[in-house]
Structure 1
Amino acid sequence: MRAKASSASFFVLECKKLESIATEFVCQGLELNTSVVFFGGDYFIENGTWSTYINKTYKYEQQMMQNIYRVLLSRGRIGMILFIPEIERNRETIQFLRDIGLKRIRCQWN
């Protein structure tokens, strides 16, 4: 996948292909019918508390990650699909999301 510099080009031409990505900066202010969000292990629950694992340094790391995911998770008007890799760091987050009612969809990768 490659990030697109032009948000107009991305949303008009590229987004249907699922070959390109949009960061929180590109999609801020955008509303989609259904969004797909990669919840990749950089913001997760550990011992009952939200934690971060990022390779950038932010002055207010926790607040920055919360704001990033607030933007990403609020783009879908009708629905949203969360893609969460099943890695050890995400186990407690996945359980939390199940506990609050999110349904799991199993994907088969070839």
Structure 2
Amino acid sequence: MIVSFWLCYAAFSALCLSMDGHHREVFGRVPTRSRGQGLRLAGWLLLATSFAAALHDAGAPQGSVYWVGLLTASAGALVLLLTYAPRRVGLGAVLALAGAGIATLL
């Protein structure tokens, strides 16, 4: 389940950073059109991957329920980070992807 959580967090970070306002708040500039589209695509692909990981870990009935809970928890964590330390969102997304990769290997 931890893999799915980190993937959800990274996905929401990518979707968040694809928006002009949040990207400006984190990086100080608006994303280019291609960067915004790339972040949006990455976010949706990571969400799909996190759903697949949750289904793999717990099966279809429980995995889908766990996934909805993980979506809520990861979005809440991202909202808190955006509120209190917006400059750390990019680093948090990279660490989330690294954490998912490490947890997958274990």
Could you say which TM-score interval applies, normalised by the shorter chain? Answer: 0.3 to 0.5
Give 1 or 2 for the bigger CA radius of gyration: 1
Q: TM-score of the superposition, structure 1-length normalised? A: 0.32
Q: Which has the higher strand share?
A: 1
Identify which of structures 1 and 2 has the higher relative contact order when contacts are C-alpha pairs closer than 8 Å and 6+ apart: 2
